[in-house]
Amino acid sequence: MRLAFVGDINLGTATLPDGVPPDSGRGLLDRARPSLWGDLVVGNFEGVLADTGTSSKCLIRNPKPRPRRSRLKQEPWDSLVPRPNCYAFRTPTMLAPRLVEAGFTHLNLANNHANDLGIAGRQSTERILDSLGLRWYGPLGRIAIDSIRRGDSLTVVGLVGFTTYPFAYDLLDIQRSAAVIDSIRPLVDLLVVTFHGGTEGVRALRTGEAAESLGAEPRGDLRRWARAVIDAGADAVIGHGPHVLRGIEWYRGRVIAYSLGNFLGNGTLNVSGVTGQSAVLRAELRRDGSWVEGKLVPVQLTPGGLPRVDSQKAALTTVRSLSQADFGRNAVRISPSGTLLPPAWRTG
């Protein structure tokens, strides 16, 4: 089975000035398209596909509400003000076909922006993706299960997504996460888990050994959680959420990529410095989930947030260094060309 994974994708948003690209977004992914191929091509879709609707996500109660000027009942929004450094994304539906054209087959909707417009927004996103033939997963009860034929062999592949929010499978509950994986394992030949978690930003490159948070918001004990879901039967674990690349660990013959960073920002995500380094992780796995080969394709985001394959290969240097620093002898090795190799101590 040939699989390809990327991190966070945002096609554009009507909620920011100049947030919608011209020409219906044609060309957004052209320079990365050659690296997006496989039986499954999977990304994390950040936002909501909808042409109408407003979000209350970034509104908080005003500590100094406006005085009433009449005896009429005060409208509820009179006492609400925008929360600083908070973003809600509404992506116009005309941009969605760009995902199909780029080669994506599956999208994760378990993340902190999938609920920006509440249930109505999530339902709109799901309808649009269904209409385009794109498979989605992540909300509670939604697992992508597909059959892939290779000659006379049929492989059943399952995809399940986790994050830290109540509308999705919750990675904060490690015991329950393992139980979810254990329940799915008998249904499929190959089981891939993706997750959206961890703290964010330029200081989030390292994968710590303790629970992470973003301010007061818990974002998961990622090492312990990822190993637990592999113990329960996952064949690969692929992460995103910190908006930077992180290291890759080899655990019990399986790969854990703790973050693939940003992949498409288009003016919505910070892509300066290390936040502009990205990658496509390509893996070939046998039907039993064992490793055949893999490659990390280095990607650099332009100042506008568009991906292109990076001839300078900065992402390879970053991920190689982080993998060694965080996982030592259990780090996945990365060759100068991007080939992913098990640790040297592994035999057989």
What pLDDT is recorded for position 82? 62
Residue 346 resides in a domain: no
- Decide if pLDDT at 337 tops 80: yes
- Decide if pLDDT at 11 tops 50: yes
What pLDDT is recorded for position 254? 98
- Decide if pLDDT at 348 tops 70: no
Q: Phi-psi region for residue 224, left (φ > 0), alpha (ψ -120 to 50) or beta?
A: alpha
What pLDDT is recorded for position 346? 62
Residue 200 resides in a domain: yes
Residue 172 resides in a domain: yes
- Decide if pLDDT at 88 tops 50: yes
Lowest-confidence region among 76-80, 218-222, 244-248, 270-274: 76-80
Residue 68 resides in a domain: no
Boundaries of domain holding 202: 2-63+74-341
Residue 311 resides in a domain: yes
Give the total number of structural domains in the chain: 1
pLDDT in tens, 288-324: 999 999 999 999 999 999 999 999 999 999 999 999 9
Residue 348 resides in a domain: no
Lowest-confidence region among 112-121, 184-193, 217-226: 112-121
What is the average pLDDT value for the chain, to the nearest integer? Answer: 92
- pTM of the shown model: 0.92
CATH number, domain containing residue 250: 3.60.21.10
Residue 69 resides in a domain: no
Residue 347 resides in a domain: no
Instruction: Render 270-325 in DSSP notation, one character per residue.
Output: --SGGGGEEEEEEEEE-TTS-EEEEEEEEEEE-TTS-EEE-TT-HHHHHHHHHHHH
Q: Residues 211-215: what's their mean pLDDT?
A: 95
- Close Cβ partners of 29 (under 8 Å, ≥ 6 residues apart): 36, 98, 101, 102, 264, 306, 307
How many degrees, rounded to 5, is the angle at CA 19 between CA 17 and CA 24?
135
- Decide if pLDDT at 63 tops 80: no
